[in-house]
């Protein structure tokens, strides 16, 4: 799970939700060298994945949250260079990272324009929904949760001209009602961050992801894309909880 890709220190901002362009390239080069098959959630849905994963292939889905303009400026050229796709999650009403600016005094970073989105879409990038304005689900009433998850789908689909089948919970925060609303809205998949089963098919409305941070160097990246990373992480967390 990526957020921003940058190429100078002025764009780092307050939060560690970025990687430098050269590091992102190293990540993609590794996936290419190791023959990973990079797909989107729409690809996953189309291939009847429960029965048709090819055993000799290594599959991976690259996701980007929030839809920053640097995804188009810096990440997209690298994705094209390697022939890779990605799934990017968009806000329904925000044009910049207003949620971070208001909460923590973060710099304003612009989000992608419709023209940028459509160009990337024509190439094969999938776009999903990420609420209207990035609220924390656990602070909302049920009516507000329904609005942020269900009501955002149609206007985003009209904006990009394609069906949206994937949703990502802001901050990875969710509850049972949010999961019900994601299913009610008609999404096929809904993504968390650091919660959910290690097996995707266990719960399609709480899919665990692996976060990429500024310090995710190539060695760390290799560990994170290994198939057992989340399994080991969860076992370690369970062990630590038992000690307390």
List of residues 6+ apart from 73 with CB closer than 8 A: none
**What is the model's pLDDT at position 179?**
98
Domain locations along the chain:
4-243
pLDDT, position 49: 60
Q: Using an 8 Å Cβ cutoff, are 130 and 168 in contact? A: yes
Q: Which residues pair with 190 in a beta bridge?
A: 167
pLDDT in tens, the chain (244 residues): 999 999 999 999 888 899 999 999 999 999 999 999 999 999 999 886 666 666 778 999 999 999 999 999 999 999 999 999 999 999 999 899 988 888 888 899 999 999 999 999 999 999 999 999 999 999 999 999 999 999 999 999 999 999 999 999 999 999 999 999 999 999 999 999 999 988 888 999 999 999 999 999 999 999 999 988 888 888 877 777 777 6
Q: How far is CA 211 from CA 16, 172, 214, in A?
A: 11, 11, 10
Distance CA 221, CA 19 (A): 12
Q: What is the pLDDT of residue 232?
A: 84
Q: What is the pLDDT of residue 53?
A: 64
d(CA 127, CA 234): 29
For the chain, give the longest Cα–Cα distance.
Answer: 53
In whole angstroms, what is the distance from residue 104 CA to residue 124 CA? 34
Cα angle 66, 69, 73 (rounded to 5 degrees) comes to 135
Q: What is the reported pLDDT for 14?
A: 87
Q: What pLDDT is recorded for position 242?
A: 76
The structure tokens listed for 240 are 């630590």
Of 63, 135, 141, residue with least CA distance to 98: 135
Full-model pTM: 0.93
Contact 44, 61 (CB under 8 A): yes
Domain at 4-243, CATH homologous superfamily: Glycoside hydrolase/deacetylase (3.20.20.370)
């Amino acid at each position: 799970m990526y957020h921003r890709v940058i190429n100078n220190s002025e764009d780092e901002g307050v939060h560690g939700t970025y990687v430098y362009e050269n590091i992102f390239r190293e990540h993609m080069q590794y996936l290419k060298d190791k023959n990973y098959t990079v797909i989107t959630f729409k690809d996953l849905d189309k291939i009847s994945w429960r029965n048709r994963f090819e055993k000799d292939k290594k599959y991976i889905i690259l996701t980007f949250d929030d839809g920053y303009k640097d995804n188009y400026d810096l990440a997209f050229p690298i994705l094209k260079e390697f022939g890779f796709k990605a799934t990017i999650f968009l806000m329904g009403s925000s044009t910049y990272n207003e949620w971070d600016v208001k909460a923590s005094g973060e710099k304003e970073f612009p989000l992608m324009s419709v023209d940028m989105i459509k160009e990337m879409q024509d190439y094969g990038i999938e776009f999903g929904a990420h609420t209207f304005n990035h609220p924390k689900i656990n602070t909302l009433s049920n009516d507000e949760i329904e609005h942020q998850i269900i009501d955002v789908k149609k206007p985003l689909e009209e904006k990009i001209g394609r069906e949206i089948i994937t949703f990502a919970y802001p901050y990875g925060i969710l509850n049972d009602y949010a999961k019900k609303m994601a299913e009610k809205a008609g999404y096929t998949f809904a993504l968390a961050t650091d919660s959910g089963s290690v097996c995707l098919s266990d719960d399609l409305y709480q899919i665990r992801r692996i976060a990429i941070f500024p310090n995710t160097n190539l060695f760390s990246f290799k560990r994170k894309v290994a198939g057992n990373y989340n399994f080991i992480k969860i076992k370690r967390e369970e062990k630590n909880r038992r000690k307390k």
